Structure 1
């Protein structure tokens, strides 16, 4: 019998730590919902780019994001993203979006809009499924500061760049390790130093270095942590008491 996840597991960390893959696996194994908040910021960034807006023009960025209809699915088996009704799951992973997502994400009003939507989605999933795994960069500190389990994933820049390079190659994108590492380090710097909701571990987060761990090992560790917090007590799959 599936041991259902009850409550919120908040996963934070920089790009390439494996949090998205592990979050999806944990959600699948525990019959929980899944929310990729990073995908929401990427959809917002794509909306900005398609509107022809300069990502550093805060007022224009906010207007473009307000006009956009953005949806991110919460099924871990099919985490699709839509912009104005169009499936943009592949389009939000391009290098153009990679370069622009940090300045768009740094706009305080954009974060306010998306955090409000993220909280709405989380409440909806908790009501319907009982549990959700949420990954991003400010989940434990801003989006769900009362989550019963917060984990901050880390890994060295070299390891993360290798993972990103392999992922891009597998998806048909031609990139060099050096370019990817530079992009990773730039994103780390921008996300960690922005004025609004900077990337950092919550004071009560469990730190997990994934540099030497496989995805299976990371998922197993997350499951162990959730079990230790009493979050895997559902006797019926997808239902919590």
Structure 2
């Protein structure tokens, strides 16, 4: 296959972001963090004083804001115009408000188009792309050569993310479980759709999780070469 699209979905704390970056790096492909796109729009709306409950205003901002995604898996970045906002979009206060933007159906439709265009561009430029999010396997790239759902038990996910954030499990629960519940109203990322490979990382080390994903990708590449 000359151009490979890999779509990876899953809830927070499964390891999908770190695995996706290393999988892309392994093959010299581009990497797209679709969740960061929603975070960037949330940041922009807050910066511009746009009420996140005003769905039309948020949707209009989503259509017009100057989002710039850095897609090098070794150093991904997010900017609006010339302003880098990598740290800002990971702040807990912003994380608590992302759901209001991510569940806006007009915003999702626009982001879907942006994400598809970026995936196609990266695949053409680098030979492949690994895109990760919550509806990539089913909505954004249902025809991707590789579609994977990474999952893990709630206990494992909370333990991992609380360690990353240096916070208690209970403090992390509001950011992880509540966000998953909100996002699940507009996208399905807890169970694998038909044709989507499942990787349960509950009892896997990070290295094992990465190996499992790389094996699935390689199997698809080998199958494509035989056709």
Q: CA deviation at 1:133?
A: 0.7
Match of 1:186 in 2: 178
Q: CA deviation at 1:217?
A: 0.9
Q: Tell me, yes or no, if structure 1 residue 215 matches structure 2 residue 206.
A: yes
Distance 1:46 1:5 in 2: 36
Distance 1:207 1:46 in 2: 32
Tell me, yes or no, if the aligned pair for 1:10 and 1:135 is still in contact at 8 Å: yes
Match of 1:239 in 2: none
Among 127, 133, 137, which residue is 1:140 paired with? 137
Distance 1:81 1:124 in 2: 17
Q: CA deviation at 1:224?
A: 0.7
TM-score (norm 2): 0.92
Q: Secondary structure at the match of 2:13?
A: coil
Q: Please show how residues 30-41 of structure 1 align to structure 2 within 5 Å.
A: 30-41=27-38
The count of corresponding residues between Structure 1 and Structure 2 is: 224
Q: CA deviation at 1:176?
A: 2.5
Distance 1:78 1:35 in 2: 11
Among 193, 196, 199, which residue is 2:189 paired with? 199
RMSD: 1.9
Q: Deviations over 1:20-53 (max 9, x none)?
A: 0000011111111111101111101111111222
Among 34, 40, 43, which residue is 2:40 paired with? 43
Distance 2:126 2:113 in 1: 20
Question: Which deviates further from its counterpart, 155-164 or 137-146?
Answer: 155-164
Q: CA deviation at 1:105?
A: 0.9
Q: Tell me, yes or no, if structure 1 residue 93 matches structure 2 residue 94.
A: no
Match of 1:172 in 2: none
Match of 1:104 in 2: 101
Q: Please show how residues 51-200 of structure 1 align to structure 2 within 5 Å.
A: 51-169=48-166, 175-194=167-186, 197-200=187-190
Among 2, 8, 11, which residue is 1:11 paired with? 8
Question: Which deviates further from its counterpart, 46-55 or 102-111?
Answer: 46-55
Q: Tell me, yes or no, if structure 1 residue 22 matches structure 2 residue 25.
A: no
Tell me, yes or no, if the aligned pair for 1:161 and 1:181 is still in contact at 8 Å: yes
Structure 1: 5+ residue stretches without partners:
170-174, 235-241
Which consecutive aligned stretches of 4+ in structure 1 deviate over 4 angstroms post-superposition? Answer: 231-234
Tell me, yes or no, if the aligned pair for 1:7 and 1:231 is still in contact at 8 Å: no
Q: Secondary structure at the match of 2:144?
A: coil
Distance 2:161 2:43 in 1: 20
Q: Secondary structure at the match of 1:132?
A: strand
Q: CA deviation at 1:54?
A: 2.4
Tell me, yes or no, if the aligned pair for 1:226 and 1:232 is still in contact at 8 Å: no
